[in-house]
Amino acid sequence: MISEKIKNQIQVVQGDITKLDCDGIVNAANRSLLGGGGVDGAIHRAAGPELLAECRTLHGCRTGEAKITKGYRLKAKYIIHTVGPIYSGTAEDAAQLADCYLNSLNLAKEHDVHSIAFPAISTGVYGYPLEDATEIAVKTVAQWLEDHADYAMQVIFCCFDARTERVYQARALQQ
């Protein structure tokens, strides 16, 4: 069960994450951190070339971990780059996907971020089944919010398409 307090800290919206006005947005990147397609490509295009220059200094990122950069031309002050698992159907996928959310939230808190938007990590090119990934995303975020009840954090699940939004709405309300 997710308490009403936690539910009020979680929002589901449909749209383009690069347009959101919050302290930080999360990028579903790859291990190189040097850009790609999907939401990664959109974030790099919107943030501008300075982002790639900073990413080059980070020397990649392991699956499940997260690294932070400035937001450059975005409204968001920070971009938190995390690398979701490429879906293989093993238990490790779920653990790594949960780590993406946990490590992103921890890094956000370290940088005094109080509002953060997540895309549906791994559910595009990386092939994670949407329902399963959504369950992990919502549960992991809700648990983190419970565990950090003394820290004001607003979490936005930014869904690019209508189907993703429907699944997130159903999952977020159901629990």
Which residues in this chain contact ligand AR6 in the complex, by CB under 6 A?
16-18, 28-30, 36-40, 42, 84, 119-126, 158, 160-161, 164
Smallest gap from Cβ 15 to ligand AR6, in A, equals 7
- CB-nearer residue toward ligand AR6: 40 or 146: 40
Smallest gap from Cβ 174 to ligand AR6, in A, equals 20
**What gap in Å lies between CA 93 and CA 89, rounded to an integer?**
7
Smallest gap from Cβ 14 to ligand AR6, in A, equals 9
Residue with tokens 């419970």: 146
Q: Do β-strands 154-159 and 115-118 pair in parallel, antiparallel, or remain unpaired?
A: parallel
- CB-nearer residue toward ligand AR6: 18 or 104: 18
Which residue type does 53 have?
Answer: A
**What gap in Å lies between CA 128 and CA 122, rounded to an integer?**
5
Using alpha carbons only, how large is the chain's radius of gyration in Å? Answer: 15
Smallest gap from Cβ 141 to ligand AR6, in A, equals 16
- CB-nearer residue toward ligand AR6: 150 or 156: 156
- CB-nearer residue toward ligand AR6: 12 or 121: 121
- CB-nearer residue toward ligand AR6: 18 or 103: 18
Strand partners, 13: 158
**What does the buried/exposed string (b/e) look like for 128-156 if buried means 16 or more CB atoms within 10 Å of the residue's CB?**
bebebbbbbbbebbbebbeeeeeeebbbb
Smallest gap from Cβ 149 to ligand AR6, in A, equals 28
| For helices 130-147 and 162-174, angle between their N-to-C axes, nearest 10 degrees | 50
